[in-house]
Chains A and B, each alone.
Chain A
Amino acid sequence: MQARSIIQDSGSANPDLANAVVYALEFAKRMGTSGAVAGVSRTSGYDLTVRMGELETIEHQNGGGLGITVFMGLRKGSSSTSDFDRQAIEDTVRAAASIAKYTAEDSCNGLPPKDRLVSETADLELDLPWQIDRDQALEIALSCEETALSSDSRIVNSEGASIGTSIQDSAFGNSDGLLVAGRKTRHSIVCSVIGQTDSGMQTDYWFSASRDPGALDSPQSIGAMAARRTLRRLDARKIKTCSVPVLFEAPTAGSLLKNFVGAISGGALYRKASFLLDSLGQQIFPEKTRIHEQPHLKRGIGSAVCDDEGVATETCDIVTDGVLQKYLLSSYSARKLGLETTGNAGGTFNLTIDPGDRDFDEMVKLMNKGLLVTHTMGFGINQVTGDYSQGASGFWVENGEIQFPVEEVTIAGNLRDMFRSLVEVGNDVDYRTGVRTGSILLSNMAVAGE
């Protein structure tokens, strides 16, 4: 067996998975492949849901998969399986090798440059199990939902409260000697309730999620927030069609950054399917905007020592003073574009837009008059042209204050214009996902209503 040192991104790694990766790579070599990449993962945990004060479901998870890509010169083939035994690994490697006989030669195929592979172990503290038994989980979920249900007589029904906790073990390696292994935990509490008045029903939810169970919000505060968010939507109405400033509440504002990430990703760029072609070094956002990645944050939900290809991740700016500093590339898309990988195979790691000084209320004041968007719906985003048209609900704002809830309207524009029209980012940052942003105010969008 080739000597490999295991690089870890957390305190612990499962040797069985690392062994499966090593065996897959060895077998791929025996099959005469010129290079190979293998990854395995296994998730265990459970989701417990209560509804209307009663236990409703317990779903136990225990499953995983192994995936392998082999190279035969400049051709490649991939295969995956849910099985980890030696026979299954061998069958999977053979299937990938067989596919590589039929795919075409592609001069951009291959492993990432060796000198870019992650080489140092770091403890990012991603493995933080939640030491609770079923009865404790049940109690947390019940107390969360009860807080929501008892908060107001207009809260009449519930979609339940859930506790989720999972441990994901993974190992990943390639034929250049890379072997990375680690364990990540994820825990969540979510609550969703229904409010009703004569005009109809509305629902909303709130959740807390973290790798660290100690960082979760209290179940009572999550329940209370779910109720508050539901109640404020009651008696929503349409507004007249207009052209006004739009404030995206922080939990929704992340979607704008995801649209930006999609447009500067290698896959969209080399296919010329992006509205941000040839935009490196160009002013995409207003001058004060900074967008950056923080892959090595301890306990971060989007933290990792390397990307999906094993390339070391790095802390860096994507947008400085509003100017695009780098695309997001894998080794393949980098070769297609004649550039170098940026360590973004699989996406970004704790993408962050620097907040301004205003809290949420001050952001509403700053907008003065316009639409506060709390939810968007739909698939009306065209990555080739940047055309944006989504369903929306939220609140009408006038004189710097929220006036009434709004529903059944659309917001439309073009993402290029929308990015340039960014007025301010709030300091009400939402840390629950891998995209960290406060509320975002845009100077103008078309709102279609009555």
Chain B
Amino acid sequence: MENYIEIARKTLLNPAEVSDRELDQLLGKMIGKSIDYADVYFQYSRSENWSLEEGIVKSGAYSVDKGVGLRAVSGEKTGFAFSDDLSLEALTHAAQSARGIAQGIGSGRSGLLGKGSTQVPVRYSGDNPLQSLDEDAKISLLERVEQEARKQDPRVKEVMVNLAGEHNVVMIVGHDGTICADVRPLIRLNVTVVAEQNGRRERGSFGGGSRQSYEFFQQDERALNYAREAVRQALTNLESVDGPAGTMTVVLGPGWPGILLHEAIGHGLEGDFNRKGTSAFSGRIGEKVASDLCTIVDDGTIENRRGSLSVDDEGTQSQNTVLIENGILKGYMQDLTNARLMGQSPTGNGRRQSFAHLPMPRMTNTYMLSGESEHDEIIESVNNGLYAVQFGGGQVDITSGNFVFSATEAYKIENGKVTQPVKGATLIGNGPDVLTRVSMVGNNLELDSGIGTCGKDGQLVPVGVGQPTLRLDEITVGGVVV
């Protein structure tokens, strides 16, 4: 990570002509009596986005964003200010604003900087993905994906392909003078198609992403497979019929349907809600909240995953946190503030959308471990139910525990067999209750393809989910056939 700290200095501090001595004095202004914690978060982010539709790459966009967020924490109080100007004058002004949360003035103590730096294992390469392909190759990748979608079936009428990449350099300077840096790549490619048959139109969408170079999309025909999968979904939906309304047995396929876990239990186990006692899971550590078959973790350490982090946005090393073990609630996801206030250890879940936002406990990659059952055995066990394999988004009310997730590809299960495709429907359940109804867990854990984005208090961060095939004995399905 030394290397990253040097990169961050060169990218962030040197152009702004902020010296170590000045940064040191700045910290001195922020800390002092009644301030428990303070940090300065520098960020330099480059991103791009290329879009193809109607067979041509119509638009491209490139952004450079840089800025600094300064935070001072006193007990449960937090003062925060940010600036997109990195000059010492702007930093000093922001520090005063952030510091205003506590009474008194900074101690002026200095000589802190460089007292330590965090050495942690790196979970992805720091190379800039935007430079991993030249512009012509990016265009050509989009065009090949489009052609692949079109050649699957003449019913494909519209194809939209989007390629996005981001390279983020962050540097976190803690009040104790420790410095930590991370360099984070993030890429995403998405294909949406509209297919038409006898005047009926349906959509299919698929994509993936990672924290590595764009070559990821070229390996194993990955991007072409996204196109094939998007078309398959659209054609399947052309055959779909109105779905059932009511409570029934639902089998969820492996991978992305793990959005169930993100909504049903993930948010409810974030430290802030539990410290405040506003979550339906508050005060329930050690209690049974799922069937014995369920073991669920939040793991930020998986190499190159969209939701992974080497360090979180407060400089805490990412880790694999057990949330639920054999049905028993084991732990919460924490950032520094909530961990300190709850007397627990931080878990590397302190994340923020950017320098202009305050960090809070957020998920990384949340998934359920494999069980014993074969996928087919789970399907065969159901007489009459629903098999849901693709989903749009989800949402949760953490206080009541009610959550939804919306299926975009689903089938009836009749007498142990997957039959007719049905139209998309929203599923609704209650977090502390739904996992007690998991009666079979497959031996086929899959992580999603790298497409998740989670929103909380208006802040978006990339996340991952995953699960094996699951049987839920009972959940409410929002079809139209009453």
Q: Is the CB of A78 within 8 A of B82?
A: no
* A63-B82, A389-B479, A390-B404 known; A273 vs B203 contact (CB < 8 Å): yes
14 sample A-B contacts, Cβ–Cβ < 8 Å, listed by A number: A56-B76, A60-B80, A76-B58, A98-B62, A98-B135, A157-B276, A159-B276, A194-B399, A201-B400, A271-B194, A377-B395, A378-B395, A391-B404, A410-B476
Q: A56-B78, A194-B278, A378-B393 are in contact. List 5 more A-B contacts (CB 8 A).
A: A62-B82, A78-B61, A272-B194, A380-B392, A390-B404
> Does A338 lie at the interface of the complex (its beta carbon under 8 Å from any beta carbon of B)?
no
> Does B56 lie at the interface of the complex (its beta carbon under 8 Å from any beta carbon of A)?
yes
By beta carbon, the residue of chain B nearest A410 is: B478
Q: How far is the CA of A201 from the CA of B430 in the complex (A)?
A: 12
Question: Cβ of A76: which chain B residues have Cβ within 8 Å of it?
Answer: 58-59
Q: How far is the CA of A233 from the CA of B82 in the complex (A)?
A: 38
User: Lowest 3 A-B CB distances belong to which pairs?
Assistant: A410-B478, A104-B56, A379-B393
By beta carbon, the residue of chain A nearest B399 is: A203
* Shortest beta-carbon distance from B75 to chain A in Å: 9
The interface stretch among B92-100, B293-301, B371-379, B440-448 is B92-100
* Shortest beta-carbon distance from A310 to chain B in Å: 19
Q: Is the CB of B394 within 8 A of A379?
A: yes
The interface stretch among B34-42, B161-169, B420-428, B460-468 is B420-428
Q: Is the CB of B65 within 8 A of A446?
A: no
Question: Cβ of A64: which chain B residues have Cβ within 8 Å of it?
Answer: 84
The interface on chain A, measured as residues whose beta carbon lies within 8 A of the other chain's beta carbons, has a size of 78
The interface stretch among A79-87, A170-178, A214-222 is A79-87
* Shortest beta-carbon distance from B193 to chain A in Å: 10
Out of A82, A242, A377, name the residue touching B404 (CB < 8 Å).
A377
Q: Is the CB of A391 within 8 A of B247?
A: no
Question: Cβ of B66: which chain A residues have Cβ within 8 Å of it?
Answer: 82-83
Q: How far is the CA of A288 from the CA of B438 in the complex (A)?
A: 50
* Shortest beta-carbon distance from B89 to chain A in Å: 13
> Does B414 lie at the interface of the complex (its beta carbon under 8 Å from any beta carbon of A)?
no
Out of A157, A271, A375, name the residue touching B53 (CB < 8 Å).
A271
* Shortest beta-carbon distance from A85 to chain B in Å: 9
> Does A284 lie at the interface of the complex (its beta carbon under 8 Å from any beta carbon of B)?
no
Q: Is the CB of B277 within 8 A of A60?
A: no
* A378-B394, A378-B406 known; A83 vs B64 contact (CB < 8 Å): yes
Question: Cβ of A379: which chain B residues have Cβ within 8 Å of it?
Answer: 392-395, 406, 426
Majority-rule SS of A interface residues: strand
Out of A102, A106, A272, A375, name the residue touching B139 (CB < 8 Å).
A102
Q: Is the CB of B402 within 8 A of A380?
A: no
Q: Is the CB of B400 within 8 A of A200?
A: yes
Within 8 A of A (CB), among B374-411: 392-395, 397, 399-406, 408
Out of B57, B65, B202, B246, name the residue touching A384 (CB < 8 Å).
B202
* A76-B59, A96-B62, A157-B276 known; A408 vs B402 contact (CB < 8 Å): yes
Within 8 A of A (CB), among B37-93: 53, 56-67, 76-84
Within 8 A of B (CB), among A103-154: 103-106, 134
Question: Cβ of B61: which chain A residues have Cβ within 8 Å of it?
Answer: 77-80, 99
| Residues of B that sit less than 8 Å from A by CB | 53, 56-67, 76-84, 94, 97-98, 100-101, 135-136, 138-139, 157-158, 160, 194, 196, 201-203, 245-247, 276-278, 280, 356, 358, 392-395, 397, 399-406, 408, 423-430, 476-482
| Residues of A that sit less than 8 Å from B by CB | 51, 54-65, 76-83, 88, 91-92, 95-96, 98-106, 134, 157, 159, 194, 200-203, 233, 236, 238, 241-243, 271-273, 375, 377-380, 382, 384-385, 387, 389-391, 393, 407-414, 446-450
Q: Is the CB of B402 within 8 A of A273?
A: no
Which one of B60, B61, B408, B478 has the highest number of Cβ atoms from chain A below 10 Å of its Cβ? B478
Q: How far is the CA of A413 from the CA of B482 in the complex (A)?
A: 11
Question: Cβ of B135: which chain A residues have Cβ within 8 Å of it?
Answer: 98-99, 101-102
Q: Is the CB of B405 within 8 A of A378?
A: yes
Q: Is the CB of B356 within 8 A of A391?
A: no
* A106-B56, A273-B158, A408-B428 known; A387 vs B423 contact (CB < 8 Å): yes
Q: Is the CB of A83 within 8 A of B84?
A: yes
Q: How far is the CA of A273 from the CA of B160 in the complex (A)?
A: 11
By beta carbon, the residue of chain B nearest A95 is: B62
* Shortest beta-carbon distance from A240 to chain B in Å: 9
Question: Cβ of B62: which chain A residues have Cβ within 8 Å of it?
Answer: 77-80, 95-96, 98-99
Question: Cβ of B430: which chain A residues have Cβ within 8 Å of it?
Answer: 408
* Shortest beta-carbon distance from B190 to chain A in Å: 14
Q: Is the CB of A409 within 8 A of B80?
A: no
Q: Is the CB of A203 within 8 A of B397?
A: yes
Q: Is the CB of B479 within 8 A of A448?
A: yes
Q: Is the CB of A59 within 8 A of B60?
A: no
* Shortest beta-carbon distance from A120 to chain B in Å: 31
Q: Is the CB of A82 within 8 A of B158?
A: no
Q: Is the CB of A58 within 8 A of B76?
A: no
Q: Is the CB of A201 within 8 A of B280?
A: yes
Question: Cβ of A55: which chain B residues have Cβ within 8 Å of it?
Answer: 77, 101
* Shortest beta-carbon distance from A345 to chain B in Å: 14
Question: Cβ of B63: which chain A residues have Cβ within 8 Å of it?
Answer: 79-81
Q: Is the CB of A54 within 8 A of B60?
A: no
Question: Cβ of A411: which chain B residues have Cβ within 8 Å of it?
Answer: 478
By beta carbon, the residue of chain B nearest A382 is: B424
Q: Is the CB of B245 within 8 A of A448?
A: yes
Which one of B60, B101, B403 has the highest number of Cβ atoms from chain A below 10 Å of its Cβ? B60
Q: Is the CB of A60 within 8 A of B81?
A: yes
* Shortest beta-carbon distance from B39 to chain A in Å: 15
Which one of A157, A200, A412 has the highest number of Cβ atoms from chain B below 10 Å of its Cβ? A412
Q: How far is the CA of A203 from the CA of B78 in the complex (A)?
A: 24
* Shortest beta-carbon distance from B339 to chain A in Å: 17
* A79-B62, A83-B84, A241-B482 known; A57 vs B278 contact (CB < 8 Å): no
By beta carbon, the residue of chain B nearest A450 is: B247
Q: How far is the CA of A58 from the CA of B99 in the complex (A)?
A: 10
Q: Is the CB of B426 within 8 A of A380?
A: yes
* Shortest beta-carbon distance from B401 to chain A in Å: 8
Question: Cβ of A391: which chain B residues have Cβ within 8 Å of it?
Answer: 395, 402-404, 426, 428, 478
Q: How far is the CA of A61 from the CA of B97 in the complex (A)?
A: 10
Q: Is the CB of A410 within 8 A of B245?
A: yes
Which one of B160, B428, B477 has the highest number of Cβ atoms from chain A below 10 Å of its Cβ? B428
Question: Cβ of A273: which chain B residues have Cβ within 8 Å of it?
Answer: 158, 194, 201, 203
Q: Is the CB of B477 within 8 A of A448?
A: yes
